[in-house]
Amino acid sequence: MQVSRLQQELFNREGDGNNGDPGPSSRTTADPLDPTCLGCGEPGHMSQDCPALSTSASRTAAWKTPALEPSGGIVHKVPKYGPADQKRGDRRGDGTYVGLKKLGKERSKVIKELRRQAAKARRQMWNRSPASRAYQKQYREELKQLNFLTRGAVWQNYNQQFKARFTPKTYREYKLAVVRKYRATKTVEELRAQRHRSYIREREARASDPDHHKALEKGRRQRQADKEFDEKNKTLHKCHGARWMHRKNWIHMKRPCTIIVDQAEGEFQQSSVKLVGLTAL
């Protein structure tokens, strides 16, 4: 059975991706014994392993065929401006040439932005669909089942695709970063930095929201009122001879009682309640 160069490289680098165990690539069992590439037409590898189509090979650009010129006589366009005004590499002569490096950078920026927008739209669609949660669950279960039936080929394939993006060094760095991020014991400096970050976040929120202090004060007043209300209830039930119940039970009692406050006290004071008597309605 022939194994392609890319498969061998993946095998040597990470094994089959199943918990790091070395083993045959997940694709070798599924493919025919003598595959022929649909991309370049050469035997010995499948189209997904074609070095001409792989991203790592495309960086070297060794496989790229030179652009063929038309065999007939080439008619040159007459430039608008004279050769003195023409920049180096400006073949059209109209000043629109920006240079290869700059063009590549701009192109990659545009593509990155388009991909980001597409991913955002896809996420929104996925989250907005009415049965999304149920569907996600079902999809996960079916994927687990499929993985079991294919002896782990699904996870292996996912793992391979993911690991193929790294060199061994960057993969080790990535794993270390993950471990460092989620490790339970943190150093004092990390904890301090984390606390400082949350403090800064809170400060920014306070600065951006003018009613922040008002909301805090309102919450404080509400807690104080609740506390005093509880004290009042305790006093009431102590006088009533009943054991202390939660205020919601007191509010929804079947036979509510009227509180008669001493007239000399004047206004009803929440802090100290003097009960003279209880009269049933």
pLDDT at position 146, please?
87
pLDDT at position 249, please?
54
Question: Number of structural domains, the chain?
Answer: 1
Of residues 207 and 224, the one with the higher pLDDT is 224
265: in domain: yes
The Cα–Cα gap between 21 and 60 comes to 30
> Per DSSP, what are the bridge partners of residue 260?
277
Shortest CA distance to 50 belongs to which of 85, 15, 5?
5
pLDDT at position 74, please?
52
Q: Confirm if 245 and 206 have CB atoms less than 8 A apart.
A: no
The Cα–Cα gap between 115 and 60 comes to 24
Q: Confirm if 37 and 69 have CB atoms less than 8 A apart.
A: no
Q: Confirm if 86 and 76 have CB atoms less than 8 A apart.
A: no
5: in domain: no
Mean residue pLDDT across the chain: 68
243: in domain: yes
pLDDT at position 89, please?
61
Q: Kindly provide the b/e burial profile for residues 241-252, where b requires at least 16 CB atoms within 10 angstroms of the residue's own CB.
A: eeeeeeeeebee
Residue 15 in tokens: 């094994």
Question: Lowest mean pLDDT: which of 38-42, 125-129, 185-189?
Answer: 125-129
8-36 confidence digits (pLDDT tens): 766 666 555 555 555 554 444 444 567 77
87: in domain: no
The Cα–Cα gap between 243 and 234 comes to 9
108-118 confidence digits (pLDDT tens): 888 888 888 88
1: in domain: no
Of residues 92 and 141, the one with the higher pLDDT is 141
Shortest CA distance to 275 belongs to which of 213, 214, 232, 216?
232
Percent of the chain with pLDDT over 70: 52
- Cα angle, residue 230 at apex, residues 224 and 232 outer, rounded to 5°: 105
Mean pLDDT for the stretch of residues 214-231: 82
Asked if residue 143 has pLDDT above 80, the reply is: yes
29: in domain: no
58: in domain: no
184-214 confidence digits (pLDDT tens): 777 788 888 888 888 888 888 777 777 777 7
Q: Which residues, other chains included, contact 258 with Cβ-Cβ below 8 Å and sequence gap of 6+?
A: 278, 279, 281
pLDDT at position 147, please?
85
Q: Confirm if 165 and 173 have CB atoms less than 8 A apart.
A: no
Domain of residue 261, residue span: 212-280
In 4-99, where does DSSP find H-type helix? 5-14, 26-30, 55-60
The Cα–Cα gap between 162 and 18 comes to 12
pLDDT at position 52, please?
72
17: in domain: no
Of residues 68 and 208, the one with the higher pLDDT is 208
Please state the pTM of the whole predicted model. 0.21
